[in-house]
Amino acid sequence: MRILVVGGAGYVGSTSVETFIEAGHTVTVYDNLSTGHRDSVVRGARLVVGGMHDRARLERVMREHRIEAVLHCAAKSLVSESMTDPGLYYRHNVAAGIALLEAMRATRVTRIVFSSTAAVYGEPKRVPIAEADRTQPINPYGESKLAFEGAMRWFAAAHGFRAISLRYFNCAGATERNGEDHDPETHLIPIVLRVAAGEQTHVQIFGQDYNTPDGTCIRDFIHVRDLAAAHLLALEATGEADPSFEVYNLGSAAGFSVREVIEAARKVTGRAIPARVVKRRAGDPPRLVASSRRARRDLGWSPRHSTLEQMLADAWAWRLSHAAGYGRRKRRPAARAAAERELERVSAADREADQEIELDTVAIPVGVGSR
């Protein structure tokens, strides 16, 4: 397969690219490098720097590289940011996503897998959550992801797309080459490991009086390797299918509590990892776990690496070997946002001058980033 991975320089995307290359596929990465990392793109994959808003550039890339299928991993994904700037999330996660779909339609690329989120379910009535359960997001991030899923469904109906959306809550772990390096960092496991590394003083536990065995919230996690494997299985499933839009949840079906994560991290790292209990956050459900029964049955997927100890051990090993992350200087969120606004004003002529690069050329980011 000739695969275009949009957002392929990000945490999830880069690991998926690794998996695709190892399986013998030809991969083109399309990313603006605003949140992704050029150094995360494995040798053998071609990196094209550009943004999803740039439909003409997307079309050109798809034609030049004779793309057959697309994995879409690019998104804005900070819940708190989506609450304060919902327009940003609709522009990047919905409007830019439509530009991607239109570029696919124009180039007759009809196979797409979307790295979505179980945040589309909001606060579920039951757990584990099944695909047929009510979708009622409680933040613009989840709402924007659900809106793009709706667009995929209608493109399947109108233009013969074969589309699959994979919904999951939390991804963790690392490969030997690629790991999690976000700025800012909002995910529990990398925050816990930052404390273990001495970069933060303590972990905050938001409430310990939930109706769970140890009083702390339970959340679903899957190893990034297992997510990458699901992406490949889903892309393969679009090969012979009739036009359709399918949804699959990915999860452990059990989940781990905040205290379980911290205690397991202490054992894996051999570090103290101080924790402080603070008051609950508004809107935190006691338990969020997705059922992956349908993905196991239809796609043949099973989480092979998603024990808590394995995810922590792999993430910790990557961190120890990448003390500075990918080694690039991180910009503060405000500075990064200002840079993105400036880049959005770049003229079409300037964007035309962007070049495809292998792995040894610095390029200017344009448009939306990667997960």
CA distance 54 to 72: 15
Q: Apex CA 291: angle with CA 290 and CA 295, to 5°?
A: 115
Q: What share of residues in the chain are helix, strand, coil (percent, to 5)?
A: 40, 15, 45
Q: Which two tokens stand for residue 342?
A: 């400036």
Q: Catalytic residues, which ones?
A: 141
* C-alpha closest to that of 100 among 199, 6, 216, 196: 6
Bridge partners for 204 per DSSP: 276
Counting Cα atoms < 13 Å in the Cβ hemisphere of 93 gives: 28
Contact 108, 70 (CB under 8 A): no
CA distance 109 to 162: 10
Q: Which two tokens stand for residue 245?
A: 């839009």
Cβ atoms < 10 Å from Cβ of 65 = 18
- Please list, in sequence order, all residues whose beta carbon lies within 8 angstroms of the beta carbon of residue 248, skipping any fewer than 6 positions away: 131, 164, 165, 166, 167, 230, 234, 292, 294, 295, 298, 299, 301
Q: Apex CA 76: angle with CA 317 and CA 295, to 5°?
A: 70
| Helix ranges, 94-165 (H) | 96-107, 140-159
CA distance 242 to 219: 35
